[in-house]
Amino acid sequence: MSFELIKDILLATVPLLVIFPSLFAFTTWMERKALARIQNRIGPNKTGIPCTRIGLFGLGQPAADGIKMIFKEDIVPRGADRLFHLLAPILALIPAMLILCFLPLEFPWTKSMQPIHAFLLDSAVIFFFAISGLATLAIFMAGWASRNKYSLLGGMRAVAQMVSYEIPLVLSAVVVVMGAGSLSAEKIVQEQNFLWFVFTPWGFAAFVIFFIAALAETNRSPFDLPEAESELVAGYFTEYSGFKFALFFLGEYIAMFAISGLAVVLFLGGGNGPGAGLHPLLDPWVPVVWFIAKIFGLIALMIWLRGTLPRLRVDQLMAFAWKFLMPLSILNILITGAALHLLADGRLEALTRRPNHLYKMIEGANPAMIGVLWIGSFLILYAAACGLDNLNRPGAKPRNYKYAE
């Protein structure tokens, strides 16, 4: 065990452990502010610099919340499984932090240093899904260990929901893997140097499916049934207080960052973006900034959706995953295969060896065919979505509201 190895390990992991929890603190503030604006309130605006009247738009709120959480009493219900009650919040945080390592996010701290990844794996995408699935266990553990009806119901709902929505999530990632010809996150990002996958019809459909499934995977509204406060008090963390609750909260937000990061890698071109060449010192930081900015774009979308949409019913939730998202994503895979086959013109195997092959295939193809392909696949997907909707809810039409005159 040499000094170099320890230094490398620290340089790879400490930035993740520092940057993302700080971003979490900022995100909680951002979410509260944005939700407040949507609901015509002001939101946190008092907490700023201590002992002064300077409010700083309430930016001190996360710090105040953190201090409050630490000093709160830690209550363990009688009859609870004490060991599991303690372990569940920790287990909720570990997979969330672990999957951050699979994002191709490079922090170039020194000029001479090779950029360090925590993990550089050929099958990073598979690993991502494998490990993010472990969060289900933590939620189940919390629900079971609390010895509380509401907790257990919340835990059961969470498990059912996360198992169901993992399928469309993975199936929509398959589309990107087909286009990129690789499972490594780095190569997928490199493939999108010129053309982000979200700008292809199948990629766009996959992105929408992926985003919806990601909302459900991270228990975000409108899929926050496991913690539905109007039905289940607080779901699986009803019996959690103090810092254990804070750990759950942190785990949930880190998982949000991680899954948005994966969406950025798969569909939005990773750290690709303009801005290189301003200054040699700043250059290596451009991808990092782009990456985090894109993650924040997706988080902002999640917050907006939370402020806009009402919560689903349980049966709607399950029907949506199994009867709508899953057939649509399978159809999407078929369309991707057909489109790639047509574009490659029988040279697919030779082409996938070269970088940016999707872009080159499109560049070399007949423009008329590209038009037909783009519009055709868009129409097929749209028609399929409408058809599935009609099948699932026959006779559904816009509701006629009768307001009091």
Nearer to other proteins, 140 or 204 (CB): 140
Q: Rounded to whole angstroms, how far apart are CA atoms 107 and 96? A: 19
CB 182 within 8 A of CB 191: yes
The residues of the shown chain that bind other proteins, judged by CB under 8 A, are 1, 5, 81, 83-84, 121-123, 126-127, 129-131, 133-134, 136-137, 140-141, 144, 156, 159, 163, 182-183
User: One-letter amino acid identity for 348?
Assistant: L
Least distance (Å) from other proteins to the CB of residue 170? 10
Least distance (Å) from other proteins to the CB of residue 71? 31
| H helical segments located in 118-241 | 124-132, 135-145, 149-180, 185-191, 201-217, 229-232
Nearer to other proteins, 134 or 233 (CB): 134
Nearer to other proteins, 8 or 284 (CB): 8
Least distance (Å) from other proteins to the CB of residue 264? 21
Least distance (Å) from other proteins to the CB of residue 84? 8
Both tokens assigned to 81? 């499984």
Nearer to other proteins, 134 or 333 (CB): 134
Nearer to other proteins, 277 or 394 (CB): 394
Nearer to other proteins, 69 or 126 (CB): 126
Nearer to other proteins, 10 or 63 (CB): 10
User: One-letter amino acid identity for 77?
Assistant: P
User: One-letter amino acid identity for 383?
Assistant: A
Least distance (Å) from other proteins to the CB of residue 117? 14
CB 266 within 8 A of CB 103: no
Long-range contacts of 243-249 (CB under 8 A, 24+ apart): 243/69, 243/70, 243/72, 243/74, 244/74, 244/85, 244/86, 244/88, 244/89, 245/69, 245/89, 246/66, 246/69, 246/70, 247/89, 247/90, 247/92, 247/93, 248/89, 248/92, 248/142, 249/28
**DSSP three-state, residue 376:** helix
Least distance (Å) from other proteins to the CB of residue 166? 8
Least distance (Å) from other proteins to the CB of residue 1? 5
CB 238 within 8 A of CB 154: yes
Cβ neighbour number for residue 120 with a 10 Å cutoff: 14
Residue of 21, 181, 19, 27 whose CA lies nearest to 106: 19
Nearer to other proteins, 128 or 291 (CB): 128
Least distance (Å) from other proteins to the CB of residue 123? 5
| H helical segments located in 233-284 | 242-267
